[in-house]
Structure 1
Amino acid sequence: MSDANTLKDLGNKAFQAKDYDKAIQLFSQAITLDPSNHVLYSNRSAAKAGKKLYSDALEDADKYQPYLGKGLREEGCCTSLACGDILRPSPHTPMVLKYEDSPALRKGLQEVQDAQAKDDRVADSGLAKMFQDPNLVSKLAANPRTQKHLTDPAFVQKLNMMQQYPKLAETALCSDPRMIDVLGVAMGIDMQGFSREEGSDELPPGFQHQPPPPSRFGSNPPQSSSPPRSSSSTSKPAPEPAPEPPAEDVEMTEEEQEEAKAKAEALELKTKGSASYKERRFDEAAKCFSKAWDLWPKDVTFLTNLAAVYFEQGDYDKCIESCEKAVEEGRSLRADFKLLAKALGRIGSAYSQKGDLPSAVKYFQKSLSEHRDAAILAKLQSTERAIAEAERKAYIDPAKSAIAREEGNTAFKNGDFVGAVKLYAESIKRDPSDARGYNNRAAAYMKLMALPEALKDAEEAIKVDPSFVKAYIRKANILHSMREYTKALEALQAAENADTASAHTSEIHAQELKIQQALFAQRAGETEEQTLERAMRDPEVAKIMSDPVMQQILQQAQGNPAALQDHMKSPIIREKIMKLVNAGIIKTR
C-alpha cells in the first residue's frame, strides 16, 4: 500500500509538470497495487483529460464511481462535465470537493476544466451568442420578470456556466423554463407567450425537445467508455433537473466566533476612546484603549492611542512604555511600518519633553528609518539644533575666553598669525558676547591677507558692541586695503560718531587723511562725467541720486552753496550728502 502511495505522489508530480504520459503510467501502476483507491482513478482521469483523451477520462470517471459511498456519486457528474460532457451540466459540481477535498482531485479537475474550456469556448450558433452579452446580467436585473430569477444562486451559477460554455445554451432552454425569459431579454422581445410553467413537460412552440442522455449513475456502473446518447424527438420528456443544493454559509468555529466578538467589542471601545480623547476626558479614553487591547491584542493602534493619552496627560514614562510595547507587538503581528514609525516618533517626542534630547534624536532617527515623515524630520532637525545650542551655551566661560585671547595676542606678536586665529576663535567660542575676540581675529586675518574674513569679523564685532570704536577703525583699514575708499571713509565717519569721548580722534583723522590721499590719486585726471559714471556704479549712490528730494537739494546748492549746510542739520540728509562727497559727486574746498 505504501508503494501505491509513492507511485501516486510521483504521478502527481508528473501531472504538475504536465508530463501526462508518465502520470498515466504511474497512476496505472498504483491502481494495480491498490484497485480500491478511487482517488487513483480520479487522478488518472485528470491526466487523460490533460492529454485531451476525454473518452478515456470518462471511462476512469465511471470506474471509480462504485467505490464512492451513497451521496457521493455526484462527484462523477462533476468529472463528467470537466471531461467534456458539457451537454449535460450537473448542479452538484460545487459539492464535489466538500466530500473529497483531495489536492490531486482539485488540481486535476481544474486542469481538465481549463483544457476543455480552451477548446470548446466558442459559440456555434446565434442562440449561444445571445448569452455572451457582457451586459446580460444587468439587463436581467432591470427586467421585472427576470430579476426574481437572480435571487436563486443556482440559477446565477448555471447562467455563468452558459456564458463560459456556449454549447450549454440549447440544452438549458429545454431543462430550465426560466431560460426562456432570459432569451427574451437577450433578444429584446416579450417571450411570455412562449414560456411554460415550471415543472411542465410541454416545450414552447418552435423549440425541439432534446432529452438528456441516460444516466451513468445507476446501481450498476456501465462498462463501455462511450455510452450512447439519444437524439430522438419521440423519446420521453426530460425529467426535471435535480434540485440545486442550497448555498451553505461557512460555519465559524467557536474559537473564531469568540475572536470576532472580541474584535467587534474592541473596535467599539476604540471609537468611544477616540471620542473621549477629543473631549479631553483622558482618563476615560485611557480605560477604553487599554480594555480594547486586552480584548483583542491584534491591533497596535489601541496601544499608540493609549500612548497619545499618556502624552497629553504629561505621563511621558507611560507613553514611552506603551509605544515600545506597540513596536514590539507590531513587529510580531507584521503591522504597517507607518504605525511602527508613528510609535517610534512619539517616543522621541516624549523624550524631548523630558529634556533627554539625545534619546529623542535616537528615536526620531529610528522612526524615519521605518517611514520618512516630514513632521518627524522637522522634529529631528529642531532637536539637533537645540542640542547644538545647548552645547554651545555649556561651553561658554568668560574666564577661559580671556585666557585664550591673551594667548592669541602672544602668538600675534610672535608672528604666528595662524595660531593666533585659532586662539581667537577659541576665545570667541568661550565668550561670543566679547567683541574683542572678533576684532583681534580680524587683525590676524589681515596679516594673512584674508580680507573678506577680516571684514566679516570686524562687522561682527560692531554688531556685538556698536560702541566699539576700534572695530570701526579696523573695518576702515580693511576697506582701504580692499581699495573700497568710499566705504572706508563711511566707516571712519561711523567711528567718529561712536567716539563720544574723543579718545580716538587723532587715529581717525590720520586714517581719514590717508584714505583721502588714496581717493585723490584714484580720481586724478578724471572728468566730471567719468566721476559720475564711476560713482553711479555704487547702488547706494545711484539710489540717492534718483531721490527727488535729494535732486532738489543739489539743484538748490548749485545756486546757494550755503543752503547745503542748513540741510546737513538733518542726520539722514547729512549721511546722504557725505555719501555723495565721498563718491566725488559733491566737491568741497
Structure 2
Amino acid sequence: MTSADEYKQQGNAAFVAKDYEKAAELFGKAIDVSEQPNHVLYSNRSACYTSLKKFAEGLKDAEECVKINPGWSKGYNRVGAAQFGLNNLEDAEKSYQKALELDSANKAAKEGLDQVLKTRESRQQMPDLGLGQMFNDPNMIEKLKKNPKTAELMKDPQLVAKLAQYRTNPQAISQDLFTDTRLMTIMAALMGIDLNMGDANGPEAASGAKEEPREEPKQAEAKTEEPLKENNEPEPMEVDEKGPQVAAEEEKAEGNKFYKARKFDEAIEHYNKAWELHKDITYLNNRAAAEYEKGDYETAIATLTNAVDEGREMRADYKVIAKSFARIGNAYHKLGDLKKSINFYQKSLTEHRSADVLNKLRNAEKELKKQEAEEYVDPEKAEEARLEGKEYFSKADWPNAVKAYTEMIKRSPQDARGYSNRAAALAKLMSFPEAIADCDRAIEKDPNFIRAYIRKASAQIAVKEFAAAVETLDTVRTKDSELNNGANAREIDQLYIKANNQRFQPEDVNENPEQTYQRAMKDPEVAAIMQDPVMQSILQQAQQNPAALQEHMQNPDVFRKIQTLIAAGIIRTGHR
C-alpha cells in the first residue's frame, strides 16, 4: 500500500512539472491515507487548485490547512491566494496580514499583500463605466435566471458570486469583461432587454416592433491589473516555522539544556510547555526522565503511563512507546520492585526489541532470582532439612535424600555440608557427574572440607577420570596431613591404589613392553611425562645407573611422576 509520504512526493513532482490536475489528485490520495490530518497536504492541494483557477476549492483546502495548524504562517498564504483569486480583496488582505503576524519574514505574504494593495488602488482609479447602478438591482440575479439567454450561465455558483461582488466593486467589471466571455453575454442581456420583462415573448416582440439598440457606453481605457504572482512550488516536506510544533521543539531543546545541567525542575517546566503546545509523547518521556533523575520514581511512572495511553490514542511510533515501557521498568527497578520491572521490560520488548532493554531484563531476572534465594535462607530450617536427608540416606531412600539436601542448600547456600551430602546421595544414584559438580561447590564454599575431596575422587574414579582422581587425592593427602595429622590417609591411599590400578589396567596380561608403552601413552599425563625433557634425561641416566633414579626420587614431583610411570608399566620393578 502506498504511504501518504510517497503520494506526497509524487504530487510534488507532478506540481513541478505543472501537471496540476494530477498533483491535486495525488495530494488528495495522500490526505485519504494519512493517519492524522496533515496541514501540509491540504496546503499543497490548495496550491494546485489555485494554479488551476479553481479558487473556491483552493480556499476550502487552505481553510482546512489553517484549521489543523493555526500557528503555521504559510497556510494563510494559501488562504490569501485563493481569496485574491475570488476577488475577495479585503479577506485576502486580512489573511496575508495574519501570515505576517505569525512570521514577519514571510516573503510570499509580503508579496501577496503588496499585490492586493496595488490591485485595490488600481480598481479605485478605474471608472465603473456607468455600470454600477445596473448591478445594484436586487432582483438582477433572479431576472437573469429567468432569461433564456442567461439561465444556463446562472447555474455556476462562482459566476453568481462574482456578479454579486460587482455591487460593491463595479470597477472589477472592466478587467473581468475581457477575460470571461460569459460576462459579455450577461452584459448584452442587461443592456438590450427591458429589466422589468418577465417573458421573452412579450407584447413588443409580438407586434414586431424593433427596439432601437442602445449605444454601448464607451469604455475608458482600463488599467490592466497585474495578476497575483503565484508561487508555483508546492510546500514539500514543510516545516512549521513558527507553528506549535516548532515552538514545542524549541521548548524541548531548552528542557534538554537544563536536563544536561541537572536542573531537573526547570527541564520539567519546559517539557510541560512542549507537551501543551504539541501532543508528542516524546515530551512526556523526557519529562519522566527528569523526574527519574530527581528520584521521583512514582511520578515518573505516572507520567510514562500517561505517555503510553496518549501514544496508543494517537497511534504513536511503537519505538517511542517501547521507550516509555522501558523507562517504567527502570523506575520500578529503582523502587526495588523487580517483578514489575521485569514485566515492563517485557512489554517494551514486545513493542520493539532492543539489545539494551534485553540486557536490563536478563539482569533484573538474575537479581530477582538472587533476591528470592536470599529471602528463602533460614539456618534453622536448613538444619531440619539436613537431619531429614540423613534419615532418608540411612534408609537408602536416595531420591528423597537428594530432595532433602537440596532444600538444605536453598535454606543455607553457604553451608558446604549440603553440597557434599547431596553428592553422596547422587553417587548412590549413579549420577556421578552431578556428584562431582556438588563436590566442587562444597570445596568452593570450604576449601579444607576433606570429605568433599574424597567423595569427588570416588566419583571421578567411577567415571574413569583416573588422572583427575589422582590429582584430587594428591591435594587431599596434603590437606589431611596438615589439618588432621593424616587421619584419612588409609582411605586416601586405598582410593589412590584403586585409581592407578584401574587407570593402567592392561587388557592382556601377556602384553609385551611395546604394547604396554602404546597403551600407557594414550594417557595424557603419561604422554606429558614422557615428553618432559627433564624426565627424559632422568630416565636415560637410570638406564645406565639405576642408583641415580633413587636420588632423583627425593624430589616429590619427580617421585610422583616415577610412580605414575611404574603404575603404567613403562618402568618395571623387579618383582613384577
Matching of residues 13-412 of structure 1 within 5 Å:
94-96=52-54, 98=56, 217=182, 219-220=184-185, 246-247=229-230, 261-294=243-276, 296-412=277-393
SS, match of residue 348 in structure 1: helix
1:37-61 deviations in Å (ceiling 9; x for gaps): xxxxxxxxxxxxxxxxxxxxxxxxx
Aligned match for 1:511, one of 486, 492, 495: 495
Return the letter of the residue paired with 1:95. Answer: K
User: In 2, distance between residues paired with 1:402 and 1:575?
Assistant: 42
> Match for residue 405 of structure 2?
424
User: In 1, distance between residues paired with 2:476 and 2:430?
Assistant: 23
Q: Please report the TM-score for the alignment, with normalisation by the length of structure 2.
A: 0.56
User: In 1, distance between residues paired with 2:547 and 2:441?
Assistant: 39
1:480-513 deviations in Å (ceiling 9; x for gaps): 3334444434333322112122111222233334
Alpha-carbon contact 1:405-1:427 (below 8 Å) kept: yes
User: In 2, distance between residues paired with 1:489 and 1:562?
Assistant: 27
CA RMSD of aligned residues (A): 3.9
Return the letter of the residue paired with 1:279. Answer: A
Q: Residue 402 and residue 274 in structure 1: after superposition, are their counterparts in 2 closer, same or farther (change >3 A)?
A: same
User: In 2, distance between residues paired with 1:272 and 1:527?
Assistant: 90
User: In 2, distance between residues paired with 1:102 and 1:436?
Assistant: 86
Q: Residue 333 and residue 415 in structure 1: after superposition, are their counterparts in 2 closer, same or farther (change >3 A)?
A: same
SS, match of residue 371 in structure 2: helix
How far does residue 342 in structure 1 lie from its aligned partner after superposition? Answer: 0.5
How far does residue 450 in structure 1 lie from its aligned partner after superposition? Answer: 2.4
Aligned match for 2:415, one of 429, 434, 459: 434
How far does residue 567 in structure 1 lie from its aligned partner after superposition? Answer: 5.2
How far does residue 458 in structure 1 lie from its aligned partner after superposition? Answer: 2.9
How far does residue 346 in structure 1 lie from its aligned partner after superposition? Answer: 0.7
Q: Residue 297 and residue 481 in structure 1: after superposition, are their counterparts in 2 closer, same or farther (change >3 A)?
A: same
> Match for residue 523 of structure 2?
538
Alpha-carbon contact 2:382-2:412 (below 8 Å) kept: yes
1:420-456 deviations in Å (ceiling 9; x for gaps): 1211222222222222222222222232222332333
1:256-301 deviations in Å (ceiling 9; x for gaps): x99954333221121122223233333432222222223x141221
- Give the % identical residues: 43
Alpha-carbon contact 1:489-1:582 (below 8 Å) kept: no
Return the letter of the residue paired with 2:184. Answer: S
User: In 2, distance between residues paired with 1:395 and 1:92?
Assistant: 77
SS, match of residue 52 in structure 2: helix
In the alignment, is residue 453 of structure 1 matched against residue 439 of structure 2? no
How far does residue 387 in structure 1 lie from its aligned partner after superposition? Answer: 0.2
Q: Residue 333 and residue 428 in structure 1: after superposition, are their counterparts in 2 closer, same or farther (change >3 A)?
A: same
How far does residue 532 in structure 1 lie from its aligned partner after superposition? Answer: 2.9
User: In 1, distance between residues paired with 2:473 and 2:185?
Assistant: 125
Alpha-carbon contact 1:289-1:302 (below 8 Å) kept: yes
Alpha-carbon contact 1:368-1:376 (below 8 Å) kept: yes
1:116-157 deviations in Å (ceiling 9; x for gaps): xxxxxxxxxxxxxxxxxxxxxxxxxxxxxxxxxxxx9xxxxx
Task: List structure 1 segments (4+ residues) > 6 angstroms apart after TM superposition.
Answer: 99-103
How far does residue 577 in structure 1 lie from its aligned partner after superposition? Answer: 5.0
User: In 2, distance between residues paired with 1:448 and 1:455?
Assistant: 13
> Match for residue 87 of structure 2?
none
User: In 2, distance between residues paired with 1:516 and 1:412?
Assistant: 30
Q: Residue 215 and residue 510 in structure 1: after superposition, are their counterparts in 2 closer, same or farther (change >3 A)?
A: closer
The runs of 5 or more residues in structure 1 that have no matched partner are 1-90, 104-151, 153-213, 222-240, 251-256
Return the letter of the residue paired with 1:282. Answer: F
In the alignment, is residue 529 of structure 1 matched against residue 510 of structure 2? no
Aligned match for 1:469, one of 450, 453, 477: 450
Alpha-carbon contact 2:304-2:328 (below 8 Å) kept: yes
Return the letter of the residue paired with 2:230. Answer: A
How far does residue 100 in structure 1 lie from its aligned partner after superposition? Answer: 9.8
User: In 1, distance between residues paired with 2:324 and 2:433?
Assistant: 49
Return the letter of the residue paired with 1:277. Answer: Y
Q: Residue 528 and residue 457 in structure 1: after superposition, are their counterparts in 2 closer, same or farther (change >3 A)?
A: farther
Q: Residue 278 and residue 539 in structure 1: after superposition, are their counterparts in 2 closer, same or farther (change >3 A)?
A: farther
Alpha-carbon contact 2:392-2:400 (below 8 Å) kept: yes
How far does residue 347 in structure 1 lie from its aligned partner after superposition? Answer: 1.1
Return the letter of the residue paired with 1:490. Answer: E
Q: Residue 215 and residue 453 in structure 1: after superposition, are their counterparts in 2 closer, same or farther (change >3 A)?
A: closer
How far does residue 306 in structure 1 lie from its aligned partner after superposition? Answer: 1.5
How far does residue 414 in structure 1 lie from its aligned partner after superposition? Answer: 1.4
User: In 2, distance between residues paired with 1:92 and 1:270?
Assistant: 37
Q: Please report the TM-score for the alignment, with normalisation by the length of structure 1.
A: 0.54
User: In 1, distance between residues paired with 2:180 and 2:263?
Assistant: 73
How far does residue 580 in structure 1 lie from its aligned partner after superposition? Answer: 4.3
1:331-356 deviations in Å (ceiling 9; x for gaps): 22222111111111011111111211
Larger RCO, structures 1/2 (Cα 8 Å, 6+ apart): 2
Q: Residue 313 and residue 403 in structure 1: after superposition, are their counterparts in 2 closer, same or farther (change >3 A)?
A: same
Return the letter of the residue paired with 2:518. Answer: E
Alpha-carbon contact 1:468-1:498 (below 8 Å) kept: no
Alpha-carbon contact 1:475-1:491 (below 8 Å) kept: yes
User: In 2, distance between residues paired with 1:382 and 1:344?
Assistant: 17
Return the letter of the residue paired with 1:461. Answer: A
1:371-429 deviations in Å (ceiling 9; x for gaps): 11111111011100100011112222232222212211211221211211211222222
User: In 1, distance between residues paired with 2:433 and 2:402?
Assistant: 14
Return the letter of the residue paired with 2:53. Answer: M
Alpha-carbon contact 1:486-1:583 (below 8 Å) kept: no
The runs of 5 or more residues in structure 2 that have no matched partner are 1-48, 62-110, 112-178, 187-223, 234-238
User: In 2, distance between residues paired with 1:301 and 1:270?
Assistant: 9
Q: Residue 328 and residue 521 in structure 1: after superposition, are their counterparts in 2 closer, same or farther (change >3 A)?
A: closer
Q: Residue 279 and residue 426 in structure 1: after superposition, are their counterparts in 2 closer, same or farther (change >3 A)?
A: same
Aligned length: 367
User: In 1, distance between residues paired with 2:389 and 2:419?
Assistant: 12
SS, match of residue 219 in structure 1: helix
Alpha-carbon contact 1:438-1:458 (below 8 Å) kept: yes
